[in-house]
Structure 1
Amino acid sequence: MDQKLESKGKVCVTGASGFLASWLVKRLLLAGYFVVGTVRDPGDEKKVAHLWRLKGATERLKLLKADLTKEGSFDDAIMGCDGVFHTASPVVGVLNDPKVEILEPAVKGTLNVLRSCKKNPSLRRVVLTSSSSTVRIREDFDPKVPLDESSWSSMELCERFKVWYALSKIQAERAAWAFCKENNIYLVTVLPSFIVGPSLPPTLCSTASDVLGLLKGENAKFQFHGRMGYVHIDDVALCHISVYEHKRAHGRYLCSSTVMEVDELASFLSARYPSYPIPTRFEKLDRPYYEFNTNKIRSLGFKFKPAEEMFDDCVLSLGEQGYIPSA
């Protein structure tokens, strides 16, 4: 019997103009889905023009206004959809009050989306974008045993080191699991590592800006990242679709191609792109060694693109968009 859901149907993508969500919309349209995307302002040409340029958008894309902070805001977008991909998350800038600016909106926004899901009788499945940072920020594991989906980061450690993004993702994912269990909603979560690849939106998100900084010779952001998993943006989008379509997909799915120390990454990049002033000196951080066990997503037949491809595609895109001289 086919392991996939029967028809393509109609799905909703929250925060559709974002870095990952735009790529997910692109992949869903290419796969034949009708996509309802939510954005804060569908009339903001600068923020949404790239979505209307996607293949299939004129026939099968609809953009609706929704706000994570307003209950009921997602009702219209979600009603009648077979599936919901919740990728929207509060943007991290300079924080004055992390609780008010990122933690509360992440949990509240996720619950607002799920309350709208609960009202939709045709809903089959919800796919939530979480993060590999919900797995790896802990001190009590054996570095010789790769981390898998059963691992959860320590909230106490996140607070101590002020890793607010990770903490917001942990709290939002835990709240989602509790709500979906209580309300009988079929939930699957995807936990991507650091996403690398071409940016469809014209303004770069934080991960794309971090890579751009490294190519320009800045090392502060990556110094802080230390050891990190990396994954191609296209793989993350395809992973979301894979866990939506496979009937036996359940629970959490780590989505990461390769894990590297920051100095490994720098030497790999400077050898591959010698024309850019990539820094080679990084201070050694006292952080635990870890690898990721991605057997769960691979068991669905998933294959990851290598680091060479994700960074080639990223560098090419940054060059085409005029952020760096073309390599």
Structure 2
Amino acid sequence: MDQKESASIKGKVCVTGAAGFFGSWLVKRLLESGYNVEGTVRDPGDYKKIGHLWELEGAKERLHLVRAELMDEGSFDDAIIGCEGVFHAAFPVLYPKSDPKAEVLDPAVEGTLNVLRSCKKSPLLKKVVLTSSTSAVARSSSDPKQPLDENSWSNAQECEKLKAWYPLGKLLAEQAAWRFAKENGINLVSVIPSFIIGPSLCNLHVTASDILSLLKGDNEKFARRGRMGYVHIDDVASCHILVYENDNTEGRYLCTSTVLEVPELASILAKRYPWLPIPTSFPSYVQGPRFEYDTSKVQKLGIKFKGIEEMFDDAIQSLKEQGHLP
């Protein structure tokens, strides 16, 4: 079967935030799977930011980039109308500079609603896959031994109190999406990845920057993240495509592999990469409540998560190739 035949079977889908760290990788895997992809970006003419997308296999034949802004209602229409599936991966910023509401919360929520409003206009639409985050998942049970699962939600008031704007943005955006989808009959599923690790197709992004600081010996910046789940970027992309292609998927899907404390992670990395100045002491680190994730729901779809070593092998190789590590 040639590419054209494969593409006609797979159909056309849209990826918002197509030039980002995860969005780029999702576009890559969708093209390799034979889809026609409409990717939304802020500026299709900014080759410095979007050039890596045109280097992907199948891009010249089956990728179309469209300008869209999260806060501009209707700006996603051109990309989405005519698509059978939409993957909403776009998110405004991880860390606000001065105004969290204007920089993170409003674009996260209104941007998601603007995407869904465009989805509502598409007569061919079959399913929307929303990229959420485990930062929108927290303990909703008093039993500390109970793993977190798809029924667990973070507390908005607690996030605001802690000034945790990224978790709050992800939480509010996902909740708004579920309300809109229910009210408008949209078939929505959400994928909830933990901290995504792996090779980057785009320029240095915030996630890689934080990892890079740890690999270069900073024992403060990464220590603030606390106990956390980690997942390979390819597994996250696979999960998105699995839940999209499976007719029986519904609700939320936790997507994470390994949960570690920062000192545990650093110890593993220091032994595996002894030539890097990875710190093994974290004086400011405060261990929080222990937790694990129950990923049985997504594993039933057939996904097998890569381990922490493979995640970082691929991430470090990518950082080397981009000139960020020796």
TM-score range, shorter chain: over 0.9
Aligned 1:156-175 pairs, distance under 5 A: 156-175=157-176
Could you tell me which runs of 5 or more consecutive residues in structure 1 were left unpaired when the two chains were aligned: 1-5
Given the superposition, is the C-alpha separation of residues 97 and 140 from structure 1 closer, same or farther in structure 2, using an over 3 Å criterion?
farther
Aligned 1:24-43 pairs, distance under 5 A: 24-43=26-45
Q: Which amino acid aligns with 1:324?
A: L
Which residue of 1 is the match for residue 3 of structure 2?
none
Of stretches 310-319 and 86-95 in structure 1, the one that deviates more from structure 2 is: 86-95
Shift of 1:93: 3.4
Whether the 8 Å contact between 2:96 and 2:103 is mirrored in structure 1 is no
Shift of 1:143: 2.2
Shift of 1:141: 3.6
Shift of 1:7: 3.7
Which residue of 2 is the match for residue 221 of structure 1?
221
Q: Which amino acid aligns with 1:247?
A: D
Q: Which runs of 4+ in 1 moved over 6 A?
A: none
Shift of 1:74: 0.3
Whether the 8 Å contact between 2:261 and 2:287 is mirrored in structure 1 is no
Shift of 1:94: 4.2
Shift of 1:285: 1.4
Question: TM-score, normalised to structure 2's length?
Answer: 0.95
Which residue of 2 is the match for residue 3 of structure 1?
none
Given the superposition, is the C-alpha separation of residues 298 and 139 from structure 1 closer, same or farther in structure 2, using an over 3 Å criterion?
closer
Identity, % of aligned positions: 64
Q: Which amino acid aligns with 1:44?
A: D
Q: Deviations over 1:221-257 (max 9, x none)?
A: 2211110000000111111000000111110000001
Which residue of 2 is the match for residue 22 of structure 1?
24
1:102 aligns with 2:65: no
Whether the 8 Å contact between 2:140 and 2:152 is mirrored in structure 1 is no
Q: Deviations over 1:271-290 (max 9, x none)?
A: 00000100111234152110
Q: Deviations over 1:52-87 (max 9, x none)?
A: 000010110000111111000000100110000000
CA distance in 1, matches of 2:285, 2:79: 47
The alignment partner of 1:231 has SS state of strand
Which residue of 1 is the match for residue 73 of structure 2?
71
CA distance in 1, matches of 2:96, 2:300: 40
Aligned 1:301-316 pairs, distance under 5 A: 301-316=302-317
Whether the 8 Å contact between 2:226 and 2:287 is mirrored in structure 1 is no
Whether the 8 Å contact between 2:95 and 2:165 is mirrored in structure 1 is no
CA distance in 1, matches of 2:24, 2:83: 18
CA distance in 1, matches of 2:110, 2:68: 14
Q: Which amino acid aligns with 2:99?
A: D
Given the superposition, is the C-alpha separation of residues 196 and 87 from structure 1 closer, same or farther in structure 2, using an over 3 Å criterion?
same
Shift of 1:131: 0.2
Which residue of 2 is the match for residue 180 of structure 1?
181
Shift of 1:156: 1.4
Which residue of 2 is the match for residue 243 of structure 1?
243
What is the total number of aligned residue pairs between the two structures? 318
Q: Which amino acid aligns with 1:228?
A: M
Which residue of 2 is the match for residue 146 of structure 1?
147
Aligned 1:288-299 pairs, distance under 5 A: 288-299=289-300
Shift of 1:91: 1.1
Q: Which amino acid aligns with 2:16?
A: T
Q: Deviations over 1:156-194 (max 9, x none)?
A: 111111110000000000000000000000000010000
CA distance in 2, matches of 1:94, 1:129: 20
Root mean square deviation of aligned Cα: 1.2
Whether the 8 Å contact between 1:139 and 1:288 is mirrored in structure 2 is no
Could you tell me which runs of 5 or more consecutive residues in structure 2 were left unpaired when the two chains were aligned: 1-7
CA distance in 2, matches of 1:123, 1:289: 41
Question: TM-score, normalised to structure 1's length?
Answer: 0.95
Which residue of 2 is the match for residue 324 of structure 1?
325
Q: Deviations over 1:117-141 (max 9, x none)?
A: 00001000000000011112x5854
Given the superposition, is the C-alpha separation of residues 246 and 68 from structure 1 closer, same or farther in structure 2, using an over 3 Å criterion?
same
CA distance in 1, matches of 2:142, 2:122: 41
Which residue of 2 is the match for residue 205 of structure 1?
205
CA distance in 1, matches of 2:170, 2:142: 20
Which residue of 1 is the match for residue 126 of structure 2?
124
Which residue of 1 is the match for residue 286 of structure 2?
285
Shift of 1:99: 1.2
CA distance in 2, matches of 1:324, 1:305: 23
Of stretches 91-100 and 191-200 in structure 1, the one that deviates more from structure 2 is: 91-100
